[in-house]
Amino acid sequence: SLKVQGRANLFSHLISLPAAYFETRHLGDVMSRFDSQETILQAMTTDIVEALLDGLMVGMTLVVMFVFAPVLAVVVLAGAVLYGLLRSAFYLPLRQASAESIVWGARRDSHFLETLRGIKTIKLFNGQEGRRAHWMNLLVETVNRQLIGQKLRLILRTANSLLIGGLAIVIVWLGAKQVMEQTLSIGMLLAFISYKDQFLDRISKLIDTVLELRMLSLHAERLADIALTPPEPRDRLGEAHRPHQPVALEVRNLRFRYSDNDPWILDGVSFRIEAGESVAIAGPSGCGKTTLLKLLASLLQASEGEMIINGQPLARIGIACYRSMLGVVMQDDQLFAGSIADNISFFSDTADLELIEYCAKLAAVHDDILDMPMGYSTLIGDMGTVLSGGQKQRVLIARALFFQPSILLLDEATSHLDIEREKAVNDAVRALPVTRILVAHRPETIHSADRVIVLEEGCVQRDEKRQINGTAVMPPTGISVSSLYRGNPSYWWASDTESYRNGNT
């Protein structure tokens, strides 16, 4: 129960950490740090209890030995102290070997996971042999560190055996001498030898356990990287305060960099996006577009400045409540192992198939799904197997739409689509009652927005309404989103779409 609860609590804390935590660490390293808890819990639930029992037996047998033969007991105790000193001398080398073994093992696991995720790229570049050789090098380094620890422990076991054997000879010789001097009977000598064996066995285990418990500081240091990292702040208002309508979003003097020693990625970005407005963020590669979108999605925390949502600071609304307003598609978004329907509904227990199909139609992927042998029950892997790049993007868009967001954030979300299908998706999404912010390079995607914000070197260079023949572009009126929808009044989108397009938000 302690193990299960402990691991559950740590996992809950891990997934509550900011997204930036995971961007600066390898998966294998995070897994290794998380697994360090198992070693600590094992020590807390088993090793400590065994150490207490061993300590009790050591105390009892030592008292009996001193009662039977004080001189012999002193000799045995001196041997135990000698083993303790020897074991302590090996502590630092063993700790160093264990630490290096853990680090190299984490690198090996990271390489393994990275290889599996990039297997298609590896095959295309005929890189299998290079990846195998690199993984073998990491494996050999890990095994070498493990062998160092095993050799040190073998030396300790050998020294312990020699020490116990030498003590046995000394005890028999001194005991025989006392028997001949008639200060000790043969029966008492045999009983003493039996207690001596019990004492040495228990105290050896006790010394080993105590030093292994000291070794836990190594795992505790690694675990502390997870356990002591502050989680994302909790909400103050909660889900009930989420508005079921487009919301206005404003950023004021937003600045961001990853650390105090890094240059500013965003420097003094300010703008306001009205409720229901469609805005494209453009600019050259590396100007901070994706970073800005991550800040707007609350995946990163601004170094300076603030975000205002419907007139309220983000800190007051709370991150979880704010995220419940969002539908997001990032460049590196992932699908999960399960059916297509599960992925669109994000494995919701109360998923409505009609709403799933509705969102798939908006994302122009409904017909593709129906062409699959199992339709919406088609199973996909965590890397989107059986789906093309364009199909995966459209499933991700459908997933972003499923919870009927008030703000839709898209980072190159239609880059794998042909122009005609991209236009169909953009037109359908533009007709929804949602504030839309998209990052794009394609002119067609940028032209689908009502307004364009151009970033350059982390600053806003231009912010202008897109116009055709001097007239500001307005949301399309030819799209009928309700024609994709079958009349379920629980979808606030469908019931509000017509009034939204008429300007009544």
| Residue-level pLDDT at 446 | 82
What's the pLDDT tens digit per position in 26-67?
Answer: 888 899 999 988 888 888 878 888 889 999 999 999 999 998
Helix 70-89, helix 48-68: angle, nearest 10: 150
What's the pLDDT tens digit per position in 274-285?
Answer: 998 989 998 888
Residue 476, CA atoms < 13 Å, CB-side half-sphere: 17
List the structure tokens of 266. Answer: 């965003």
Where are the extended beta strands (E) located within 23-94?
none
d(CA 250, CA 273): 6
Query: What pTM value is reported for the model?
Result: 0.76
Nearest to 335 by CA among 325, 326, 327, 345: 345
What's the pLDDT tens digit per position in 296-321?
Answer: 998 888 889 999 998 888 888 888 88
Q: Which domains are delineated in the chain?
A: 2-227 (1.20.1560.10), 239-497 (3.40.50.300)
Question: Which percentage of the chain shows pLDDT scores above 70?
Answer: 89
**The 3-state secondary structure of 207-262, one letter per residue:** HHHHHHHHHHHHHHHHHHHHHCCCCCCCCCCCHHHCCCCCCCEEEEEEEECCCCCC
The one-letter amino acid code at 252 reads R
CB 387 within 8 A of CB 371: no
Residue 89, CA atoms < 13 Å, CB-side half-sphere: 9
CB 493 within 8 A of CB 428: no
- Positive or negative, the Cα torsion across 221, 222, 228, 230? positive
d(CA 65, CA 67): 5
> Sorting pLDDT into bands at 50, 70 and 90, what band is 384?
low
The whole-chain average pLDDT of the chain stands at 84
Average the pLDDT over each of 56-60, 327-331, 480-484 and give the range with the smallest value.
480-484
d(CA 293, CA 408): 11
What's the pLDDT tens digit per position in 96-134?
Answer: 999 999 999 999 999 998 998 888 889 888 899 999 999
Nearest to 107 by CA among 130, 139, 145, 149: 139
Nearest to 243 by CA among 438, 437, 433, 486: 433
| Residue-level pLDDT at 226 | 92
CB 200 within 8 A of CB 167: yes
Phi-psi map region of 385: left, alpha, beta (phi>0 left; psi -120 to 50 alpha): beta
What's the pLDDT tens digit per position in 388-444?
Answer: 888 888 999 999 999 889 999 998 887 788 888 888 888 888 888 889 999 888 887
Phi, psi of 256 (to 5 degrees): -150, 140
d(CA 72, CA 358): 87
